[in-house]
Amino acid sequence: MATEYIRLRGIGVSPGVALGLVQLEEQVVFSDRKESITFAQIKEEIQRLQRSFEATKQEIIEIKNQVKDKLGKEHAFIFEAHLMILEDQSLREEIENLIKKEKVRAEWAIATVHNHYMRVFETLEDEYFRQRRFDLSDVLSKVYRHLQPYSPETVDEEGERILVAHELLPSEAARKLNKGNILGVALDMGGQTSHTAILARSLNIPAVVGLRDITTKVQDGDVIIVDGTDGEVIINPPLAIRKEFLSKKRKYDDYLKELRKTSTLVSETLDGFRFTPLANIELPEEISLAFSLGAEGIGLFRSEFIYLRSTTIPSEQDHYHIYSQIAKKAYPSPVYIRTIDIGGEKNIPQLNIEREPNPALGLRAIRFSLKNRKIFKTQLRAILRASVQKNVRLLIPMVTEIEEIEEVKWILREVKDELKREKVDFDPAIPLGIMIEVPAAATLVDEMIKEVDYVSIGTNDLIQYYLAVDRSNELVAYLYKPLHPSLLRLLEEIINHVSEAGKEVAVCGEMAADPLSA
């Protein structure tokens, strides 16, 4: 057991404080050993691969059912996505073609395909999109493991522990965090949108990720503190530090109890203005937590994640399955589904989007959708089909001019007509709204509101574009001021114009989550 006292900084992804003993997890390793086979052995090797795929399918189904029984449908949904990845014919063909072309064992082919996609995902600038690599890695690691003659699972430590690992794949996160004995999580890798982070938040397990090399600094049985609120991990803390953090833990636990008590109270400002708190979600698994903390609906569902659950372009049914699940889970509360905001820095490998010199101002969001009608219409069809619950709202991002709204409405009418001819049910009066993120849209909102049912002010992008400042650039971050007088004046004008038109206005982004700004 190590005795050195070490403090590490990472990313706090699930708040709270935990103190306990380390349970160190071993990382799944793909061997780069290239074992050759003869031409006559290729057929047998392909069959071996197919058996491994089938065994993996059965394992994922078993995990999905266990998670569904213990944690609910929303947490089991990710394993539906894993089945989609597994059944993606192009992925299997890519592995089979390597076996045939290189005359190699399936292990090397899987490792090669896995490593290729991991490199592709690593080049993505958007953190949420990068995190989706773990879904593909999870599936392929299972296929790889089932090729082995015997592959026993890691034996978990008995008693309460702090789980420490390089990274935690979704299936491992579901299995281990659901056991009830994990007090906290500390990972070398990961981010806010990883499945481990989402699951930890749902289960109120403190978690810190992005620690880079904590697995090289601890051993099983070390004492460790995980502070998920401040993103700090302390290895082998002295007694005084332990007492300090135990006090902090008690205060946080008391705060959480109070928060849950007030979650059922009416939401209003100190001057008596009643408002409706809505949650922004990126994954269906987040719905239950959002409602338990007082959300009265889903104010923004980021639909881009669907593309990261497949190595091919998702089908209409893939989209529909997700949207309908969310609409049913949230019913009768409203669900605002934003059409895909991809392009630019939010690149997706299977779409082959060219890199742009200035992606934030390039072909992204509705600009991308209008240039790619087939993809856009597929998504609209799925959203309309899910709207039979009559709690779905359609939200268009990054609108710059009225002509874009008119084009969207024309395409939407076309899709509605198609569904009518096919006798497919949908909500013909589904509300249509736009995101106000571009200054041009903000100053034209008095005209744009005539074309839509509501607007949602996307404060994160609007602040950056309006103040001409990149909030992620520490050299100019001091200029990123949500309470800038000019910005507040602009927001007032937007809200007044929309209110005068008798339409609904919503605010999303960090300003909406900040009590002072809200």
Residues 34-44: tens digit of each pLDDT: 999 999 999 99
Binning pLDDT at 50, 70 and 90, where does residue 152 land? Answer: very low
One domain, residues 248 and 174 = yes
Residue where one domain finishes, among candidates 146, 174, 200: 146
For the chain, what is the domain count? 3
Q: pLDDT per residue over 50-59, tens digit each?
A: 999 999 999 9
Q: What distance in Å separates the CA atoms of residue 182 and residue 517, rounded to the nearest whole number?
A: 36
Would you say residue 19 has pLDDT above 90? yes
- Is residue 231 assigned to a domain? yes
Candidate ranges 352-366, 433-447, 459-473; pick with highest mean pLDDT: 433-447
Torsion-angle region of residue 455: left (phi > 0), alpha (psi -120 to 50) or beta?
beta
Residue 120 has pLDDT above 70, yes or no: yes
319 is catalytic: no
Write phi, then psi, for 455 (nearest 5 degrees): -130, 155
CB 450 within 8 A of CB 426: no
Check residues 409 and 122 and name the one with the higher pLDDT. Answer: 409
Average pLDDT over residues 350-366: 76
The confidence score (pLDDT) of residue 308 equals: 61
In a domain, 89, yes or no: yes
Q: What's the CA gap between 329 and 176, in Å, rounded?
A: 25
Identify the active-site residue in 75, 195, 319, 497: 195
Say yes or no to pLDDT of 307 above 90.
no
Q: What is the pLDDT of residue 518?
A: 65
DSSP for 55-101, written as a single string: HHHHHHHHHHHHHHHHH-HHHHHHHHHHHHHHT-HHHHHHHHHHHHH
Contact 160, 181 (CB under 8 A): yes
Residues 45 and 141 in one domain: yes
pLDDT band at 68 (very low <50, low <70, confident <90, very high): confident
Rounded mean pLDDT of the chain?
A: 87
| Residue in 63, 60, 62 with CA at minimum distance from that of residue 82 | 60
Three-state secondary structure readout of 439-457: HHHHHCHHHHHHHCCEEEE
**73 and 126, same domain (yes or no):** yes
Q: Which tens digit of pLDDT belongs to each residue from 476-495?
A: 878 888 899 999 999 999 99
Q: Is the pLDDT of residue 345 over 70?
A: no
Residue 477 lies in a domain: yes
Whether 17 and 165 map to the same domain: the answer is: yes
State the DSSP code for 167: -
Does residue 401 lie within any of the structural domains? no
Highest mean pLDDT among 175-184, 225-234, 274-283: 225-234
Asked if residues 60 and 82 have their Cβ atoms less than 8 Å apart, the reply is yes
Tell me the mean pLDDT in the region 142-151.
81
Most confident of 89-98, 280-289, 402-411: 402-411
pLDDT of residue 327: 94
Please check whether residues 65 and 134 belong to one and the same domain. yes
Residue 156 has pLDDT above 60, yes or no: no
Residue 282's pLDDT is what? 73
pLDDT of residue 81: 83
* Tokens, residue 219: 């051993």
Q: Are residues 166 and 19 in the same domain?
A: yes
Q: How far is CA 415 from CA 29, 38, 375, in A?
A: 47, 52, 12
Q: Which domain holds residue 79?
A: 39-146
- Which is more confidently placed, 232 or 282? 232
pLDDT category at 298 given cuts 50, 70, 90 is very high
Structural domain includes residue 117: yes
* Both tokens assigned to 501: 């038109």
Task: Examine the fold and report which residue of 230, 256, 282 is the final residue of a domain before the chain moves on.
Answer: 256
Q: pLDDT at position 191, please?
A: 76
Same domain for 141 and 43: yes
In terms of domains, do 447 and 485 share one?
Answer: yes
CATH code for the domain in which residue 11 is found: 3.50.30.10
Q: Is the dihedral of CA 121, 64, 160, 199 positive or negative?
A: positive
Rounded to an integer, what is the distance from CA 232 to the centroid of its chain? 23
Domain identity same for 179 and 248: yes
**CA gap 481, 471 in Å, rounded:** 9
| pLDDT the model gives residue 3 | 58
Same domain? For 18 and 167 the reply is: yes
Q: Is residue 418 part of a domain?
A: no
**Overall average pLDDT of the 78-98 stretch:** 90
- Strand-strand pairing, 182-187 and 161-165: parallel
Give phi and psi for 474, each to the nearest 5.
-65, -20
Express each pLDDT in 236-261 by its tens digit: 999 999 999 999 999 988 887 887 77
Domain shared by 245 and 188, yes or no? yes
Q: Is 371 a residue whose pLDDT tops 90? A: yes
| pLDDT of residue 373 exceeding 90 | yes
Domain of residue 128, CATH code: 1.10.274.10
Picking from 146, 180, 214, the residue at the C-terminal end of a domain is 146
508 is catalytic: yes
At 228, is the pLDDT very low, low, confident or very high (cuts 50, 70, 90)?
very high
Record the pTM. 0.65
In-domain check, residue 216: yes
In terms of domains, do 140 and 169 share one? no
Tell me the mean pLDDT in the region 182-203: 84
Q: Which residues are bridge partners to 436 per DSSP? A: 457
- CA atoms of 135 and 81, how far apart (whole Å): 8
Whether 125 has a pLDDT exceeding 80, the answer reads no
506 has pLDDT over 50: yes
Residue 304 has pLDDT above 90, yes or no: no
308 domain-assigned: no
| pLDDT at 504 exceeding the cut of 90 | yes
193 pLDDT more than 70: no
158, 159, 164, 167 alpha-carbon torsion, rounded to 10°? 60
What confidence tier does 155 reach under pLDDT thresholds 50, 70, 90? very low
